[in-house]
A = this chain, B = another copy of it.
Amino acid sequence: MHTFNPPIRTLMGPGPSEVHEKVYQALAKPTIGHLDPEFLRLMNEIQVMLRQVFQTKNQLTIPVSGTGSAGMETLFVNFIEPGDKAVVCVNGVFGTRMADVASRCGADVVEVKAEWGTAINPSDIDAALSQHPDAKLLAIVHAETSTGVWQPMDEVADLAKKHDVMLLLDAVTSLAGVPVELDKWGVDGCYSGTQKCLSCPPGLAPISVSERGLQLIQNRKTKPQSWYLDLSMVANYWTDGNRAYHHTAPINMNYALHEALRLVLEEGLETRFKRHRENSEYLWQELESLGLERFVDASIALPQLNVVKVPKGVDEAAIRARLLNEFGIEIGAGLGPMAGKIWRIGLMGESSHTTIIDRLIFALKQIL
């Protein structure tokens, strides 16, 4: 067997995104122990920076030792006890996944649906919560990675308050690409992934839990069904105090996340959001000049994940294969019912640069 040498790629899919050279350097620094005082200091700094990126004061703001979906599962296994009623909004793959995860936790799941490619209608949420006054939580996807829909949050946040339910937010693709304002919205549990707009390799799932969420977890009648993701124990390791060993954290992945967060904050959130917005506008100007069309209405389209209708009569897989094989460019296909109908072009974090967009446009001009 030979040492693996990855091919040259430009990552413009729905994640992983391009990674800054400094993050690779951090990843390869010598491993130290998971109870080393210097590692504990690193963990503290990661928490401070994650709170800034999540725009929250939540004490329990940490990276879970798994990829984004482990973050999703962490919140559901800790928030839900068997028989709890959960209202879950479904307008794509990740809403569907939340409903599956919640039901595996024994939740009585009520789905609020919207057509894929559209946002969830707040009045449908209001109706569901009115019809189910015993609901414990409302779960919604902020940036639906399967469709490119950017869910407006203000009304959703108001409805969660009005009906006094826990608000659970999937911010996997939104965090550090568009504003994620946990405290302003009163979010009780939020999860994300490292390989999207944080531009770090995949392997960790940043989460944040409100004071109210933490109390709910501490007052559970039953143990969470997952030992690995049991936040009452994980929090003991991450937060100041006894630093009790739970499991061995992925040390080097945490080095990388630390550096990625540092670069995000060095750029500044507002500047970063503006860059994502402007580069998306530039991309669409170029795509439209090639005759390509949006799948999602511009008013609710994510700037970091640009979803394009596959033109009639075009073999979409053949185009993606040529992009990959001839130009080293990865873009994403449609998932599930979207297969064959859309392309997903990620401009996330380090992938959101005009030079990178120009590579894609140059290639598309040759191929289409």
Contact = CB atoms under 8 A, between A and B. Distances in A.
Contact of A65 (B1, B5, B22, B66): B66
Contacts of A313: none
Interface in A12-58: 13, 15-16, 18-19, 22, 24-34, 36-39, 42, 45, 48-49
Interface stretch (A118-126, A242-250, A290-298, A299-307): A242-250
Nearest to A42: B4
A2 B263 CA distance: 10
Nearest to A38: B7
Q: How large is the interface on A (under 10, 10 to 19, 20 to 34, 35 or more residues)?
A: 35 or more
B253 A203 contact: yes
B30 A19 contact: yes
B262 A226 contact: no
A249 B66 CA distance: 9
A226 B67 CA distance: 14
A234 to B, nearest CB: 11
A224 B104 CA distance: 7
Interface string A66-84: 1111101100000000000
Contacts of A324: 36-37
A255 to B, nearest CB: 6
A11 B33 CA distance: 7
A259 B29 contact: no
Interface in A247-303: 247-253, 255-256, 258-259, 261-262, 265
